[in-house]
């Protein structure tokens, strides 16, 4: 399995729009083939600091998801809300 973790800060002026986008993004991503879990969480002690957690069956299905046009559109929209540089890490593990 693959766990992908993204970390980013959202522009406070765009917070409401981001929350609406994030709900739609999560709902859609959870239906993607191979997606086991998808969630976006805000840091309790740091407003506007978020992590995006994704769990995928395997690297192949994650890559198929990343290669879609919808992924490209969503990534562009997400980056429009982000202040600074986001970071992404992938982890592989066995259950």
**What confidence tens digit (pLDDT) does each residue in 21-34 have?**
999 999 999 999 99
Please state the φ and ψ torsions of residue 41, each to the nearest 5 degrees.
-130, 140
Which portions of the chain are predicted below pLDDT 50?
Answer: none
Question: What's the confidence (pLDDT) of residue 93?
Answer: 83
Shortest CA distance to 38 belongs to which of 51, 20, 19, 21? 51
Per-residue pLDDT at 20: 97
Cβ(4)–Cβ(54) below 8 Å: yes
Rounded to whole angstroms, how far apart are CA atoms 37 and 11? Answer: 25
């Amino acid at each position: 399995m693959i766990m992908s973790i993204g970390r980013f800060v959202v522009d406070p002026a765009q917070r409401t729009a981001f929350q609406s986008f994030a709900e739609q993004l999560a709902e859609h991503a959870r239906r993607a083939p191979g997606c086991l879990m998808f969630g976006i969480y805000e840091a309790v002690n740091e407003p506007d600091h978020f992590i995006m957690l994704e769990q995928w069956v395997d690297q192949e299905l994650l890559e198929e998801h990343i290669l879609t046009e919808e992924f490209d559109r969503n990534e562009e929209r997400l980056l429009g809300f982000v202040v600074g540089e986001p970071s992404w890490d992938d982890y592989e593990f066995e259950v």
